[in-house]
Every structure is written in structure tokens, then in C-alpha cells.
Amino acid sequence: MTRRGEIMFDKAAGQQSIVGKSMATRDAYGETLLELGKKRDNIVVLDADLSGSTKTGKFAKAFPDRFYNIGIAEQDMIGTASGLALSGKIPFASTFAVFETGRAWEQIRQTVCYSNLNVKLIASHGGITVGEDGASHQSTEDIALMRVLPNMTVIVPSDGYETMQVINVIANFYGPVYVRLGRAKVPAVMPAEYEFRIGKAYPFHIGKDTNIVAMGIMVSIAIEAAKILKDAGIDAGVINMSTVKPLDTETLLNAARSCRLIVTAEEHSIIGGLGSAVSEFLSENFPVQVRRIGIKDSFGCSGKPEELLKLYGLTTDDIVETVKEALKK
């Protein structure tokens, strides 16, 4: 079996239109899935009545015989996807992150992970930038719920281009994978030469004063924060830790050894997510000062994505202030 980190993305096969484009990661998923469906007839897609929002609708339209709408029944969707995997298909099962990981968690544990099935769980509407729908539809615990499961791989792409690579790579990897996507449009951050590999972080720069380890939409926010910090004389690096599990401990250790402070940034609860994963590793292997940027043990609420990021302390300014404050000590 191919090991996780060895699977490469075939750039020639990717859609050039997505490279460098600011777009929601869910849109990149919809386009990539459609392309993948054209090339691979063993790919099947399931949704739970949200195909317009998760963007699996594009695949559904092109390949109605390989698309199964299971209706508003997430537990049944995961079970059905598991059966399809047992039949040798590669099922991509999508709905909102809060329902996919919360409503069907036990099905994912008992059936998908325990039996190590080749089921791809691709959830949209991760985090609070879901916006106006409010806390019931915002997922701030999904990474914790998926990270704790044996056999599970957890990936949070930062932009459309990375999403395209992730979807292609996991289609060639055997095993359960959870991919968290977002509703809101995000800036393109990954360079054209970037090559996603499962379990391999991407350091934009390793800072001498601090390194910000980020996932998803927080990568672009961290990059902006690093620029402001540079102007203030602080050398801040940014690492895109798009694979939360397995964590790229080599890159993390290297970053921790190079600086005085590690900051984690995630659009997720500070409990159980990226901040926890990083802290767990560093506390045992290279204790260093850590600050976690994330949702501080609370539910989200309705509002515009930008307003919510500000309300919950997930902006460029929040990162800058956190770094300055921590480095004073």
C-alpha cells in the first residue's frame, strides 16, 4: 500500500483555472470532483440534501448514476457510503461539517474507522464564516471529533488550489479521510509550484521570533499578520498545517527550535483542534511558549463572516497583539 506522504498530485491533470484564484474551497471541491468523475468511474458521491451548498451538485448533474442523495439522513449516508466502499467504490460523502462529524460521528467511528474503509468525508461550512445561519450551522468542533478517531486522516485546505490538490491526492490514498471546507471565498495563498502531500506542512517562511501554525482560512490571515509584525521588527514565520492528522512534527519541531513562540491559528475551538495537536506534541518533545488563536470554548452566532472573525478574535490584529504580548514576557 502506498504510504500517505508518497502520493503526489499530477499537476498536468489539474485545472489551471483554479491556480491562484480567490474562491471558496467548497467551489474548488465541486469543480475538482467533476473533473475526477470524468477520469475515474469508481468514484461515487453521496449527499444529504445539501448538494447545492456542498457543490457536489455539479457531479450529480454530470453523473446522475453515480450520485446518491440520501436525503436528510446523515447517519444513513455514512453507512451507505461504507457499503459502497466495501463494494470497491471510492465514495465521497458530503454535507455540512457540523452534521457530517456530529450527527454521524458514531457511524464514522464504528463503521468507517474501525474497519478502515476507503470513505472520503468532505464537509463544507466548516468554522464560523458560515455566517448568518448562526451557531447551529457553524462547525467549531469537527476537527476535534475527527482527530480523535484511529485510522482517520484530517485535512483542512487553505485555498482553492490546495483543495484541488487535496481532492486528487486523497482519491489515490486508501483509508478514511476527513476534509474540512469553507463556505466563504478565501484569497489564494499557495504558490503555483506547491505540491500537497498528506502529512506535509508548508512553511512560507520560518521566523526567528515566532512561527504561526495555521489551517484553513487562518493561513491567509496569518500571512497578513506576519507582514505587520515584520514592520514592527518581529520575524514571524507562517506554516500552513493543512494536514492536522497526521501532524507534520518534523516541520513543527524545526519551527519551534528556530524561535521563542509558537502561535496556532484555527477557525475552530481551541479545545481539541490544531492548537491542541500542536501543544500535545510540543509539550512532550520541545516545550516552548505556545499561544492558541481560536474560538474560546463558546458557540458562534449570526453575522457576516468578517464581523464574526472580529467578534471571536480571529483577525490579523488579534494575531499581531497575541504575538507582541507573548514576546514581551
Partner 1 sequence: MDKRDTVFLKQQAKRVRIEILKMLTEAGSGHTGGSLSAADVVTALYFYKMRHRPDVPNWRERDRFILSKGHAAPLLYVVLALTGYFDISVLKTLRKIGSPLQGHPCSKTLSGVEISTGSLGQGLSISNGIAIGLKIDNLNSRVYCLLGDGETQEGQVWEAAMTAAHYKLDNVCAIIDLNGLQIDGPVSKVKAIEPVASKWSAFGWHVIDIDGHDMEAILKAFDEAETIKGKPSVILARTVKGKGVSFFEGKVEYHGIVPTRDELEMALKELDGNGQ
CB of 265 to partner 1, least distance (A): 36
The length of the chain, given as a count of residues = 329
Candidate list 6, 31, 35, 74, residue with the active-site label: 74
Chain position carrying cell 450527527: 103
Nearer to partner 1, 16 or 115 (CB): 115
CB of 171 to partner 1, least distance (A): 17
**In Å, how far are 81, 290, 309 from 326, measured between CA atoms?**
46, 9, 21
Q: Active-site residue 31, yes or no?
A: no
Nearest Cα to Cα of residue 139 among 107, 99, 108, 179? 99
C-alpha 73/C-alpha 30 separation (Å) is 21
Which segment (56-64, 106-114, 126-134, 288-296) binds partner 1 by CB under 8 A? 106-114
Using CB under 8 A, pick the residue from 80, 101, 251, 276 that binds partner 1: 80
Q: What b/e sequence results for 158-167 when a residue is b if at least 16 CB atoms lie within 10 Å of its CB, and e otherwise?
A: bbbbbbbbbb
Using CB under 8 A, pick the residue from 24, 34, 60, 70 that binds partner 1: 70
Using the rule CB under 8 A, is 68 a contact of partner 1?
yes
Which segment (5-13, 86-94, 212-220, 304-312) binds partner 1 by CB under 8 A? 86-94
Using the rule CB under 8 A, is 71 a contact of partner 1?
yes
CB of 71 to partner 1, least distance (A): 7
Using CB under 8 A, pick the residue from 16, 17, 110, 298 that binds partner 1: 110
Q: What b/e sequence results for 62-100 when a residue is b if at least 16 CB atoms lie within 10 Å of its CB, and e otherwise?
A: ebeebbbbbeebbbebbbbbbebbeeebbbbbbbbbbbb
Using the rule CB under 8 A, is 1 a contact of partner 1?
no
Strands (E), the chain: 23-24, 43-47, 67-69, 90-96, 120-124, 153-155, 177-180, 185-186, 202-205, 210-214, 236-240, 243-245, 261-269, 289-295
Nearer to partner 1, 83 or 287 (CB): 83
CB of 89 to partner 1, least distance (A): 5
Chain position carrying cell 509558537: 262
CB of 125 to partner 1, least distance (A): 21
**What residues make contact with partner 1 under the rule CB under 8 A?**
44, 65-66, 68, 70-71, 73, 75-89, 91, 106-107, 110-111, 114-116
Active site residues per annotation:
74
